[in-house]
């Protein structure tokens, strides 16, 4: 009966068993990690108690970055235009090291949970913190969550044959269970499992694909001849790029070299160094050696997608030219239900056509792992931002219990929004998914990177310069994004009637321009306005990260802390007056389901104990031996990255 249900997709009983076993194993690991998590404290839930080791940090960094959207998007763009899209992965290698060596030491030294919280401590006030919180949540919903769900839907429809909504809701339900219950530790442990499955499955499919096409040398020969039939209006649309096997391309190409070298670097640096989803993993590390070790492992893994995803995407075009590379809208509609093109089915097509029974189930499980790892990461980071940066402003002095409940509830809200967003994605997405993600990011992210770089590297940056530099960049970016999506992209054979600012300025070039505009605005406005006192910035910039000087908080911080303390003391006194009675049965069941562990009553920490706790949490000390080891490995990783750039340039 199962085989009959899946006869149109080639998925058999063995594949279904593998998928079910994977889902059960993933849920088991998530719940196991849940019970090992300190679930009664904000630090335990949102930062995994800050005791994660380098292997789990690196695996989580990689799996959080490589979601199902990456598999579908990288392979699809590789099929469409060649290996230049791998520049995002190779640039990411260097940005991961930048994260560990430049950004994280400042974030940890400042003692923050979220990046918007860092801005509050660095500049004072609240508008930067609130703005960045809202912007981050919007980016997560409309690019990260939506893109991964859309890519997951493609896999479920193309490969498994499940009803899209049923499959997505099942996956979202499983990810929400252990994200809500266990917090960041459960997410990181399941990410580690999913990284092993993703890498293993991708390597198996890579080997099978290379054998099927005859090896890389055969791919070099066959790819230039992958001309789809029929063509449209005797145009050259759909023709394989002549520079398909080059990372560095001409200024008029689909991936111009200035945008490749500088624009992608800006987007990658924002993503890895100033985005809560990735940074939060590093903040959970035991110490700086584990922070750097995790980034090095993730950087090594970033070498793989060129060979395990991009090249297989090109192989898919060779093997299934008329379907993957179709340009006739009517043909594309029939093949993949998308008149804009079918390159997004390149990777699912390989899974469906090449993987033997059983291994196909492993690969589908790997795709589910990619989807789930990305979603869990976004869910956890989103709940952290909402709880720390938004809810605490609404409810100063909220107890750890209240914050944890709100954080869990917000994850469920995101799940609902994600499901409701699926029809919008079906109607709006087309063409190359990966380029869509990067273009939207290119309109919103450069001002954010400019903000964090100036905050960390230039002590003279003040709140006015930071805020208005960000606003200038936002306005310019939104204008370009509105024009871009308002005009749309011309179909194959159609005349390009878009304004020159869209048609002639590649989105990667625009990202560079936007970054420079925001940085200049920040510098000029900071210089023209009153500088903030240097007594506010100890341990908040690169130059003061090791300072032992006691930082003087801003007046708003003091007022907010006093309000929080007063509310907390009142709540504590009220709790102490209550008689200790056993919890009712319904509440015990609710706590069990949510994985919530009520905190035990204890005396407040003394001033000395509180200082020692903060010292441990903000320590960026490194043992000399491990410092040498991670530095040498960083040099080796960068050398491999530079070699690949030159070899495929």
Kindly write down the DSSP assignment for every residue of 207-270, as one continuous string: HHHHHHHT-HHHHHHHGGG---SS-STT--TTPPPTTTT-SSB-TTSSSBHHIIIIIHHHHHHH
Distance CA 111, CA 619 (A): 9
Predicted confidence (pLDDT) per residue in 543-588, tens digit: 998 888 888 888 877 776 776 666 655 555 555 555 555 666 666 6
Return the CA Rg of the chain.
Answer: 25
Place of tokens 């987007």: 267
**DSSP conformation class of 472:** H
Looking at per-residue pLDDT, the higher value among 95 and 7 belongs to 95
- Structure-block tokens of residue 52: 């994660």
Q: For residue 476, give the nearest of 515, 503, 437 by alpha carbon.
A: 515
The Cβ-side half-sphere exposure at 585, using a 13 Å CA radius, reads: 0
Confidence of residue 421 (pLDDT cuts 50, 70, 90): low
Lowest mean pLDDT across 139-148, 150-159, 198-207, 355-364: 150-159
pLDDT surpasses 70 at 214:
yes
Give the SS3 label for residue 249.
Answer: strand
pLDDT at 185 over 80: no
What's the pLDDT score for residue 48? Answer: 45
Average pLDDT for 72-90 = 88
User: Structurally, how many domains does the chain consist of?
Assistant: 1
In the DSSP assignment, the letter for residue 551 is P
The pLDDT value recorded for residue 462 is: 93
For 501-545, the three-class secondary structure string (H helix, E strand, C coil) is HHHCCCHHHHHHHHHHHHHHHHHHHHHHCCCCCHHHCCCCCHHHC
Rounded to an integer, the average pLDDT of 15-34 is 71
Report the distance separating Cα 267 and Cα 633, nearest Å. 24
Distance, in Å, from the CA atom of 218 to the CA atom of 244, rounded to the nearest integer, reads 14
Task: Say which residue, 190 or 284, is predicted with more confidence.
Answer: 284
112 to each of 116, 283, 553, 618, how far by Cα in Å? Answer: 9, 9, 14, 9
Tell me, what's the pLDDT at 429? 38
The answer to whether position 630 is within a domain reads no
Q: Report whether pLDDT(22) > 80.
A: no
Question: What distance in Å separates the CA atoms of residue 366 and residue 364, rounded to the nearest whole number?
Answer: 5
pLDDT tens sequence across 505-557 = 888 899 999 999 999 999 999 999 999 888 888 999 999 988 888 888 888 77
Q: What is the CATH number of the domain that holds 83?
A: 1.20.1730.10
Residues in the chain: 649
CB 437 within 8 A of CB 143: yes
The partner residues of 285 in beta bridges, in order of sequence, read: 52
Residue 3 pLDDT exceeds 60: no
Q: Is residue 255 part of a domain?
A: yes
Look up residue 217 and give its two tokens: 């040398």
Degrees to nearest 5, angle at CA 614 with 609 and 619: 130
Is 227 within a domain? yes
If pLDDT is split at 50, 70 and 90, which confidence band does 199 have?
A: confident
Asked, for residue 291, whether it belongs to a domain, the answer is yes
Question: Does pLDDT of 47 surpass 70?
Answer: no
Within a domain: residue 631? no
DSSP line for 23-65 = HHHHHHHHHHHHHTS-TTSHHHHHSGGG-B-HHHHHHHHHHHH
CA distance to 68, 270, 421, 461, per residue, from 355 (Å): 18, 36, 31, 55
pLDDT in tens, 496-506: 677 777 778 88
* Domain region containing 352: 2-33+48-422
Q: Tell me, yes or no, whether 569 lies in a domain.
A: no
Per residue in 396-407, pLDDT (tens digit) is 767 666 776 787
Domain annotation covers residue 290: yes
Question: Is 289 inside a domain boundary?
Answer: yes
Q: Residue 248: is its pLDDT beyond 50? A: yes
Sorting pLDDT into bands at 50, 70 and 90, what band is 602? very low
Give residue 5's pLDDT. 35
Q: What percentage of the chain carries pLDDT values higher than 70? A: 71
Q: Which has more confidence, 603 or 585?
A: 585
Report the alpha-carbon distance of residue 245 to residue 226 in Å, rounded: 14
Q: According to the per-residue pLDDT averaged within each range, which of 48-57, 77-86, 301-310, 438-447 is highest?
A: 301-310
What is the per-residue pLDDT for 155? 66
């Amino acid at each position: 009966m199962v085989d009959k249900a899946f006869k149109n997709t080639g998925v058999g009983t063995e594949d279904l068993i593998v998928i079910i076993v994977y889902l059960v194993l993933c849920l088991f690991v998530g719940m196991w990690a849940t019970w090992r998590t300190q679930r009664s404290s904000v630090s335990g839930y949102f930062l995994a108690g800050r005791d994660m080791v380098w292997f789990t940090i690196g695996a989580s960094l990689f799996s959080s970055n490589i979601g199902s959207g990456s598999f579908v998007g990288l392979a699809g763009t590789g099929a469409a235009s060649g290996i230049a899209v791998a520049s995002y992965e190779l640039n990411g290698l260097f940005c991961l090291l930048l994260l560990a060596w430049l950004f994280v030491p400042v974030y940890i030294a400042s003692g923050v949970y979220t990046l918007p919280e860092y801005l509050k401590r660095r500049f004072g006030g609240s508008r930067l913190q609130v703005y960045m919180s809202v912007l981050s949540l919007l980016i997560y919903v409309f690019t990260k969550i939506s893109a991964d769900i859309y890519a997951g839907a493609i896999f479920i429809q193309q490969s498994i044959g499940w009803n899209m909504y049923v499959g997505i809701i099942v996956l979202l339900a499983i990810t929400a269970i252990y994200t809500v219950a266990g917090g960041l530790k459960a997410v990181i442990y399941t990410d580690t499992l999913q990284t092993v499955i993703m890498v293993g499955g991708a390597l198996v499919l890579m080997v099978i694909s290379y054998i099927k096409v005859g090896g890389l040398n055969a791919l070099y020969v066959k790819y230039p001849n992958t001309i789809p039939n029929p063509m449209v209006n005797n145009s050259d649309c759909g023709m394989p790029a002549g520079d398909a096997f080059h990372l560095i391309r001409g200024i008029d190409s689909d991936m111009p070299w200035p945008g490749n070298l500088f624009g992608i670097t800006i987007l990658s640096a924002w993503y890895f160094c100033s985005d809560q989803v990735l940074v939060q993993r590093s903040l959970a590390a035991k110490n700086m050696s584990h922070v750097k070790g995790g980034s090095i492992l993730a950087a090594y893994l970033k070498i793989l997608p060129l060979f395990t995803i991009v090249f297989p995407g090109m192989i898919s075009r060779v093997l299934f030219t008329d379907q993957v590379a179709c340009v006739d809208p009517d043909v594309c509609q029939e093949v993949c239900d998308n008149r804009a093109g079918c390159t997004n089915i390149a990777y699912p097509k390989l899974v469906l056509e090449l993987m033997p029974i059983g291994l196909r189930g492993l690969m589908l499980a790997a795709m589910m792992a990619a989807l789930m790892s990305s979603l869990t990461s976004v869910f956890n980071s989103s709940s952290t931002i909402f709880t720390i940066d938004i809810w605490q402003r609404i409810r100063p002095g909220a107890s750890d219990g209240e914050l944890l409940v709100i954080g869990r509830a917000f994850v469920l809200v995101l799940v609902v929004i994600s499901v409701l967003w699926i029809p919008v994605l079906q109607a709006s997405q087309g063409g190359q998914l990966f380029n869509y993600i990067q273009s939207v990011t290119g309109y919103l992210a450069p001002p954010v990177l400019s903000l964090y770089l100036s905050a960390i590297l230039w002590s003279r940056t003040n709140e006015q310069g930071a805020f208005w530099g960000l606003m200038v960049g936002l306005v310019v970016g939104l204008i370009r994004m509105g024009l871009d999506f308002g005009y749309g992209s011309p179909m194959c054979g159609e005349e390009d009637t878009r304004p020159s600012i869209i048609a002639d300025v590649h989105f990667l070039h625009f990202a560079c321009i936007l970054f420079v505009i925001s940085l200049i605005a920040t510098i000029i406005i900071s210089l023209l306005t009153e500088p903030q006192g240097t007594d506010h910035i100890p341990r908040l910039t690169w130059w003061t990260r090791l300072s032992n000087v006691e930082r003087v908080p801003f007046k708003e911080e003091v007022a907010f802390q006093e309000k929080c303390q007063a509310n907390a003391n009142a709540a504590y006194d009220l709790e102490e007056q209550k008689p200790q009675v056993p919890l009712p049965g319904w509440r015990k069941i609710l706590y069990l389901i949510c994985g919530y562990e009520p905190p035990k009553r204890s005396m407040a920490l003394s001033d000395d104990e509180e200082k020692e706790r903060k010292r441990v949490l903000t320590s960026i000390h490194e043992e000399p031996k491990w410092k040498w080891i991670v530095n040498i490995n960083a040099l080796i990783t960068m050398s491999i990255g530079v070699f690949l750039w030159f070899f495929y340039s």
